[in-house]
Amino acid sequence: MGVIWNAVILSPMINVLAVLYAVLLHNFGLAIIVFTLLVRLATLRLTQRQLRSTRKMQEIQPKIQEIRRKYPNDKQKASQAQMRMMKEAGVNPIGCLGPMVIQFPIWIGLYQSIISLLPTSPEALARLSQHLYTWLPFVDTLVPLNRSFLGLDLGLEVSKHGFMVTVLMPVLVGASMWAQQKMTAMPSMDARTESTNRMMLWMMPFMFGFFTLQFPAGLALYWVASAAIGIVIQYRITGSWGNLFPSSRKAPPEAATQGVGQGKPADEGSKEEPEDGQSGDDRQNRRGGGRNRPAGARRRPRGGRGRGR
């Protein structure tokens, strides 16, 4: 397994980073960022499938709740009906986890690549020479690489930096991962599922923020760049920020928009109030001379003013 890992993951990543380092004017931080962009572009199809699956899962949530209400005491039938409905809707639950599953070997390979490309001992330098491709003659001349980027030692653990870096990098990693998950978070009508989703939304960024302290600053830079690029890609694909920024626009009520420009009132049951404070019925009764009054309720002449006079 070690030979396969080195041949398929570790050695290619080391040489790609070395080539990017040479092209980008010997800046290892820029090499990591460009490498992150290349990884994101390579997994773009999986990201699109993930977003489509997430969107379809949101659409069929009411049907899932209906199935659970139909089979409250039979979980097997509910699960079978749910899987059948998801298959008919073209939803693949595993499709939502595709990019995340691929990221794990990349994280491990990048961690080992950073440690290998920034050796701190002659033994580490000898191990690095075993991974460099011989058909790339200029790669040997790049070692040792420049470790600094924006005041960071990319090969040094984050916790061994100054106070500001030790606090800022975990916050950046956790906040960027939280924002990316918040964009694709699926609201659920089930209180228990919604509570689990909310816990995962906060637990994963917190865990990675804590792990950042124990890993090299170069890997933390990759996590921040990957999350930022992922947010941009998701916005470009979906055309919205999802659940990250709730919409502040309020749709106008239907009653207020019906009949606009057609001379129709917004609400058929509503009538204009007269300016003098009298209702339309009172005016109609006045004009009709009391025709709408019940029998026997006609106006009596006032005293002292007889009709015969």
- Rg (C-alpha) for the chain, rounded Å, is 35
| pLDDT confidence tier of residue 190, bands split at 50, 70 and 90 | low
Distance of CA 95 to the CA centre of its chain: 16
> One-letter amino acid identity for 58?
Q
CA distances from 252 to 240, 242, 266, 268 (A): 20, 21, 12, 17
Per-state percent for the chain, helix, strand, coil, to nearest 5: 65, 0, 35
The CA distance from 14 to 99, in Å, is: 21
CB 63 within 8 A of CB 24: no
Mean pLDDT of the region 60-68? 79
**pLDDT surpassing 60 at residue 123:** yes
3-state secondary structure of 207: helix
**pLDDT surpassing 90 at residue 49:** no
CA distances from 296 to 118, 286, 287, 300 (A): 108, 17, 19, 10
| pLDDT confidence tier of residue 122, bands split at 50, 70 and 90 | confident
Round the average pLDDT of the chain to a whole number and report it: 76
